[in-house]
Amino acid sequence: MRILEGYVATGRQLTGAMFGHPCPLRIEDIERDFDVKPLDGVARDLNYFTPMAIMSPPDNLAVPTEPKNAFEARGLAQYLADPKAFMAKAMEEWKKLVALYQSLGINVFIIPPEPDLSDQSYTADPAVMLQRPDGSLVAVVGKFFARGRAGENAAMKRQLELMGFDEIHTISKGHFESAGDIREDFRRKALWVGYGPRSSREGAEEFATIANSCDMNVWLLELVKQPSEADQKFFHLDTCFFPLPNGKILWVPEAFTKESQDAIKKVGARNLIEVSVEEAEGFCTNVKAVRYDTLVIPSTTSQRLKELLGKDFKLFEADVSTFMLVGGGVSCLSNTLYRSPRLSLEDALVQSLLNVRWIEKTKDFFRKAHPERLVAGNPDLLKGLHFLLSDSARQIANTGLFM
């Protein structure tokens, strides 16, 4: 099979013309409307402070006639009624999500869709990307339990090889559906990993061993498995659990076994925010955190949770209602890099901000986009890139170290 090239969209929002393209989106369209470059070796350009997302357009999205979860069981009728309209709506939602991410300063890496991979747009599920304290990049390719998705593992592995990861591991024991069953806990410096309906305990433990070698703490949680897949609402951890950057945790108690409920209560203590089963059906735990103060949430999030989360975070809503009918939400549609909490700020600066090629690229961007801010000797050169740098990094940048 021919290895398909991927492209990264950098530094520019989607143009208005993007939304006029006919469905499905073609790679040629992406090249015209994005600032793009091949994924070849792009892992070397990932810097510590830049949020990133790997995404893939839903060219082949479809609802299977044999549902793999409770949401597909509901969405099948809508899909069969008008597949073309269903696909067009999904493409529109996906394009707008990409545009939103770019407006928030997220580097969006686009993987071309491959034939017969109807769920490939859910890029969180095929693999996990990790970074060791020394900065080396490690990928773990999962092993799907869900029918018809095995080809996504191989497709993602080819892209990771193109990106130039230092190590690529493949899960060999049981099943593991990767980032769909992983939640990063910024405050507690750990990864919560789910198993039960899709990922097996053996697969989760194999991943945990690799993550531990990257100096990452892993806490396992068991989800309740329903007798029938068509009744399974909480098939991945991201459908029922989300540790917020401020230390609070969104969770659906009914999704977990008694032992895992007790573990969550012990760790979360007074920082737990219970989500009802009805609220969870709106995929309100399936969100994406952008740094520590911003959340991208589905528009179906309950008003109660919007008001609660709005007290601590900037909220940006995304319509992903069509993808929800296939069992996916906001965080399902992108994959990201999990970095070791032991990666020091000093190491991060050496690996990213002091990367000469990255600095020159940044200065070149500013010369073209913000010439009015290029005052000779001004230590605020990088200030305008606030969407790329954390607060601590900006403070260091403003010392004039990079001039």
Alpha helices, H only, 69-133: 70-81, 83-103
d(CA 327, CA 47): 32
Domain end: 309, 339, 369, which one?
339
ω into 243 cis (within 30 of 0): no
DSSP code of 276? -
DSSP code of 4? P
Judging by DSSP bridges, how do beta strands 167-170 and 314-318 pair with one another?
A: unpaired
Asked if residue 363 belongs to a domain, the reply is yes
The whole-number pLDDT of residue 370 equals 43
For residues 314 and 385, membership in a common domain is answered with no
Q: With 50 as the cut, is the pLDDT of residue 362 above it?
A: no
Residue 197 lies in domain: 7-339
Closest listed residue to residue 108, CA positions, set 335, 296, 306 = 335
State in Å, rounded, how far the first CA of the chain is from the last one.
Answer: 47
**Token representation of residue 33:** 């409307």
Domain end: 339, 357, 379, which one?
339
Phi, psi of 167 (to 5 degrees): -135, 140
Asked if residue 2 belongs to a domain, the reply is no
d(CA 149, CA 127): 12
The whole-number pLDDT of residue 77 equals 80
Q: Are 63 and 73 in contact (CB under 8 A)?
A: no
More confident residue, 220 or 71: 220
Closest listed residue to residue 84, CA positions, set 7, 22, 168, 18 = 22
Asked if residue 1 belongs to a domain, the reply is no
Asked if residue 116 belongs to a domain, the reply is yes
State the amino acid at position 318 in one-letter form: A
d(CA 208, CA 380): 42
Number of domains in the chain: 2
- Name the range with the highest mean pLDDT among 183-192, 294-303, 334-343, 358-367: 294-303
For residues 186 and 254, membership in a common domain is answered with yes
For residues 235 and 358, membership in a common domain is answered with no
For residues 244 and 379, membership in a common domain is answered with no
Q: Are 29 and 9 in contact (CB under 8 A)?
A: no
The torsion defined by the Cα of 279, 284, 286 and 287, in degrees rounded to 10, comes to: -170
Q: With 50 as the cut, is the pLDDT of residue 383 above it?
A: no
Q: With 90 as the cut, is the pLDDT of residue 396 above it?
A: no
- Name the range with the highest mean pLDDT among 18-22, 82-86, 308-312: 308-312
pTM: 0.77
For residues 15 and 55, membership in a common domain is answered with yes
For residues 275 and 379, membership in a common domain is answered with no
For residues 357 and 335, membership in a common domain is answered with no
Q: With 90 as the cut, is the pLDDT of residue 281 above it?
A: yes
Cβ contacts of 356 within 8 Å, gap of 6 or more: none
Closest listed residue to residue 341, CA positions, set 43, 51, 131, 49 = 131
Triad 157, 159, 160: Cα angle to 5°: 65
The whole-number pLDDT of residue 169 equals 97
Overall average pLDDT of the 122-150 stretch: 91
Q: With 60 as the cut, is the pLDDT of residue 29 above it?
A: no
Asked if residue 52 belongs to a domain, the reply is yes
Q: With 60 as the cut, is the pLDDT of residue 34 above it?
A: no
The whole-number pLDDT of residue 163 equals 85
Which secondary structure element, helix H or strand E, spans residue 366, and what is its range? helix 356-369
Q: Are 191 and 184 in contact (CB under 8 A)?
A: yes
For residues 242 and 326, membership in a common domain is answered with yes
Indicate which CATH number applies to the domain containing 220. 3.75.10.10
* pLDDT band, very low/low/confident/very high, at 343 (cuts 50, 70, 90): low
Give the SS3 label for residue 263. Answer: helix
For residues 257 and 371, membership in a common domain is answered with no
For residues 361 and 328, membership in a common domain is answered with no
Mean pLDDT of the chain: 77
For residues 311 and 365, membership in a common domain is answered with no
d(CA 47, CA 45): 6
Domain end: 339, 362, 381, which one?
339
For residues 101 and 186, membership in a common domain is answered with yes
Asked if residue 402 belongs to a domain, the reply is no
